[in-house]
A and B are shown apart, each in its own frame.
Chain A
Amino acid sequence: MSRPAVTVQPDRGEASVALHRIADNIEQVVRGQARAVRLLLCALVSGGHVLLEDVPGTGKTTLAKALARSLHADFQRIQFTPDLMPADILGTSVFNQRDQSFEFHPGPVFTDILLADEINRASPRTQAALLEAMGERQVSLDGVRRPLDELFFVIATQNPIESQGTYPLPEAQMDRFAMRLSLGYVTPEEEVEILGAQSSGHPLERIAPCVSRDVVAALRVAAEAVRLSDEMKRLIVDVVGATRGASGVRTGASPRASLALMKCGQALALLEGTDFVTPEHLAEVAVPVLAHRIVLEPEARFSGRTGVSVVREALAGRIEAHD
């Protein structure tokens, strides 16, 4: 696997500074979402994709756009609809009369940051096309494999309150997202601030890139170098394993989830400026990384149990045991 030449090789302190700079930049636009921004950056650095599950109007698109602008990265947005076809995402080959040859017109997936809005509105076939691209970081079309951009980062959104006319993502596909986040409503004070900031043009117009997109690749390398003790590996495996045997759970989190938990923990450690992973890091990312991968029995679901509660129970006792 070839890696592009890394122009910047930040040490831990610099990495943390760079990440905080991005976070501050985004927070100029997206107010009151410090936690979500933090986790979003974790996912970006860990190389995973993010599923934002929230009601409309909470700033999902703005968040994605602000991230793209801060990185000076390409940004594409696809609004998912029931009639969206795989070719609308991946691209298509068009016959060029003049050259008597097929010419590939890349789809919006060939970008750095992709916002897949309301991903559950498209048919499963289209969803699968995107999710495959996410997993493989490449697109196979007409027998030609076309690699995606190294930075390629998908922020998919999903509206949890509408269920009519939607195709819920299959459980197997949920596993492809490193994290599921929800933004939630901001406090009234922050909302007042948002109103004030919007009175003279959208603040999104005003923010400037603060790091080059190469920095992200360097951050990913730096995150992989964050140290992880055997005890922490054991903790990851214990917590993920506990979700499998928990009551009311049909399918627990997979080994891919363990991997994602580890990478996100490392990314968070990098963000915090420490060069090793602690239980705090794992506890913070465990719910966004694991909860959406857990498939509950219908009875458990109807009695109010959620993936979040399963993960919290898996953490209880285990985190304390590794003080």
Chain B
Amino acid sequence: MSAPSASGLPRGDGALPASEAGAFGVPPLALGAALLLWAVRADALVPGVVFAVVVELARLVPWRWDLGARDFNRVADLTGLGFVALVVYQFDAHSVRGIYEVLRWLPAVLVLITAVQVYSTADRVPYTALFLSVRRAVARGAVPDPGTVDMRKPFLLVCLVSAGSGSMDDRALYLPAVALIVAYVVWSARPRRAGGWTTAAALAVAIALGFAGIQGVMAARRAIEPFIMELVQDRIWNYRDPYRAYTAMGQIGRLKLSERIVLRVTPAIGVPPPGLLREATFHNFNTRLWLATQTEFAALEPNAEGTAWRIGATPPSQRHAMIAAYLPRGRGLLAVPNGTFQVEELPVEDLLRNRLGVLKVLQGPEVVEYRARYHPDASYDPPPVDSDRQIPERLRGLLADLSTSLGLDAARASDSAARLQSYFDREFRYTLELTGPDDDTSPLEDFLLRSRAGHCEYFATATVLLLRAAGIPARYATGYSVQEWSELEQAFVVRRRHAHAWALAWIDGQWRDVDTTPAVWLDLESAGTPWWLSGYDLLSWLRHGWVRWRWTETAEGANALLLLALVPLVLALAWRLSRRRRVRRDAAPGRAAAPARVAGADSELLAVVAALQARGLAREPGEPLGGWLGRLSAAGALPEASLVLDVLLPLHRRYRHDPGGLDDAERTRLRTLAAQWIARHGTSG
């Protein structure tokens, strides 16, 4: 074998890197291309271009750094710190979405160690640098040679994946670019025996399979996403917008029902619960949208303790109910029965109310429990205004005709409401199937004239507008219907699917609930009760208990809780540190005890070896000293090769391994000659 292997050669003296496209190497410009693709996709043009130039320029510069394992450890540690900082920062800034941002910026973190590798004399980064566990194992002696990795390969992969983490809008650029780069890398590493056509065909098949796979993943994603969205929306549902309510009127499909428990109602003993809990009230209708315009919220004045808010004067008779609700991010609308004149025990800063009687919390805990005192037949909402009488232009004729034919009359408002109720009960059907109009008739017209079937939003909207057509002020209310008694919780539970809409009518100087949706709706909706519901309810109850406990703790308590959570972490860390120290302590006496006598361990040739290794002259794992020195000599990298090989090495060998050892003259010779060699060549590297 005449050609020396590349890894033992010094690269520092002007030699260019050895052939880059080895069997599994990264071919020239592939890294640069991947970095540029990343730069475009991740919207990081400047850093991307700089990185690409830095990484690719290594092929042209004639020098290399001499780096040892310890230097790589430092760079890897720095990279690790950078990664941790990136994770902390991105998750802090973007919450869950931070994972995409971390992925997006990962190349910027990893570019450091990759660049250090390409500018160093080492072709590869030792695993000891990358994994602390490997470092420990090596220190323990469990792994004599942990091996090395060419960082360019994982880095290339990270760049491509990271480039894909952007939006999928411009897949037209991304996928072909990735296919091209990967094809280039694979092509340059193809086996020698494989013909060009075979490789090309295999690549084409692989790329086609890849594209098909992506289509499959996208299809799966489309199928799964609605479920996930439903889960996610649990978080935002409760924050109902007090200014607008989008109805599902006119949509096609089937309303999705959720079993999630949103409210828990405990009425006073022996008293029925309030039938409807209102969250929001609206008065302006626009095709399929209910709005509450010009309804600014104003803070209510709390009592002296700051936990009770009075809305109206105390009536002669009253009822009360405890209501537990979730307020995502500490804000939201309070669900209360119509006729609520006082809200108590509410642990929030401010309670706001608008002129439609909607109650809003701006800052509070995520779970609240409050007592609503109410009179079932009274209302404390402010009296009607003009907008409570308005009817959309387009529907005016239809509604006026219908209202007349039904005999609705503002003078007999109570009777009119009852008539409407029986009319809808008789002539209409409740359904969750959404069937939109097939022409340009509005959803409401379609509901009243053709389909005569719909869900509560249709009934409530039609009722409000018909009442208004008869001259009775009316509003649209949304909230929940209280139906289900839970033995487990000893309370009424209100699920997401109990969400309801109904009308408020101004009858005899009071706002009254007018619910015209056929009563069958509840049966219909509970018909689909899933088998897992009881288990789900149990979990839901436990979760509620946990959240409530967490939020009723004082702030100090919460901090103490956090500290408590930190305790096992600190203990684990301390344990690891103590163990590590113990390993070191054990190791030292162990080493001293193992061989009774390491003969000749003070041989000066070992200093020559150290000097050569400090020059970055690598040694194959398991390569004997003589073989290595011979190889260096053949490559011209060993100064005064004949002195080292023919004089020092034989002396050293005898000193170290011959039980006979050296005599004094020879020992002195070894010492002097090695010292001279070091004096001439030891520090120049």
Across the A-B interface, the 7 shortest Cβ-Cβ residue pairs: A317-B144, A316-B621, A315-B622, A316-B145, A316-B622, A276-B658, A280-B624
- Whether B659 and A279, one on each chain, are in contact in the complex, defined by CB atoms closer than 8 angstroms, is no
- Chain A: which residue is nearest B597 at the CB level? A230
How many contacts A-B (CB < 8 Å)? 81
* Interface check B14, CB cutoff 8 A: no
In the bound complex, do residue A276 and residue B621 qualify as a contact, i.e. CB atoms below 8 Å apart? no
Using a CB–CB cutoff of 8 Å, the interface residues on chain A facing chain B are: 227-232, 234, 242, 274-280, 283-284, 312-320, 322-323
Q: For the complex, what is the distance from the CA of A70 to the CA of B621, rounded to whole Å?
A: 38
B657 at interface (Cβ–Cβ under 8 A)?
Answer: yes
B interface residues, tally (CB under 8 Å): 25
Contact A276–B654 (Cβ < 8 Å): yes
Q: Helix, strand, loop or mixed for chain B's interface? A: loop
CB pairs A–B below 8 angstroms (12 shown): A228-B659, A229-B599, A230-B659, A231-B595, A275-B658, A276-B659, A277-B657, A280-B624, A280-B627, A284-B624, A312-B622, A313-B622
In the complex, which of the residues B144, B595, B609, B660 contacts A323, with contact meaning CB atoms closer than 8 Å?
B609
B562 beta carbon closer than 8 Å to chain A: no
For the complex, what is the distance from the CA of A314 to the CA of B626, rounded to whole Å?
19
- Quick check: is B438 within 8 A (CB to CB) of the other chain? no
Query: Which residues of A sit under 8 angstroms from B623, Cβ to Cβ?
Result: 283, 319-320
Tell me how far the C-beta of B146 lies from the nearest C-beta in chain A, rounded to whole angstroms. Answer: 9
- Nearest chain A residue, comparing its CB with the CB of B605: A323
Q: Which residues from B are CB-within-8-Å of A319?
A: 622-624
Q: Say yes or no for B560: interface residue by CB 8 A criterion.
A: no
Is B622's CB under 8 angstroms from A283's CB?
Answer: yes
Binary interface profile of B, 582-614, with partner A (CB < 8 Å = 1, else 0)? 000000000000011111000001100100000
In the complex, chain A residues whose CB is within 8 Å of the CB of B659: 227-230, 276
**B625 near A227: Cβ-Cβ < 8 Å:** no
- Using a CB-CB cutoff of 8 Å, which residues 617-632 of chain B contact chain A? 619, 621-627
- Taking a contact as CB atoms under 8 Å apart, the answer to whether B625 and A242 are in contact is no
| Given contact pairs A275-B658, A276-B659, A313-B621, a sample of 10 additional A-B residue pairs in the complex whose CB atoms are under 8 Å apart | A227-B659, A234-B595, A279-B624, A313-B622, A315-B621, A316-B144, A320-B619, A320-B622, A320-B623, A322-B657
> What is the minimal beta-carbon distance from A8 to any residue of chain B, in angstroms?
24
- How long is the Cα–Cα vector from A54 to B606 in the complex, in angstroms? 40
The answer to whether A313 and B654 touch across the interface, beta carbons within 8 angstroms, is no
Chain A nearest CB, measured from B613 CB (Å): 10
A317 to B606, CA, bound (A): 15
Provide the residues of chain B in CB contact with A283, threshold 8 Å. 622-624, 627
Contact B595 A278 (CB under 8 A): no
CB contacts under 8 Å to A, within B414-444, are none
Residues of B within 8 A of A313 (CB): 144-145, 621-622
Cα–Cα distance between A16 and B18 once the two chains are bound (Å)? 40
Q: Is B124 an interface residue (CB 8 A)?
A: no
Q: Which of chain B's residues has its CB closest to A275's CB?
A: B658
Cβ-defined contact, B657 with A232, below 8 A: yes
Query: When chains A and B are docked, how far (Å) is the Cα of A312 from the Cα of B147?
Result: 12
**CB of B522, distance to nearest CB on chain A (Å):** 60
Chain A residue nearest in CB terms to B619: A320
Among B622, B625, B660, point to the contact of A318 (Cβ < 8 A): B622
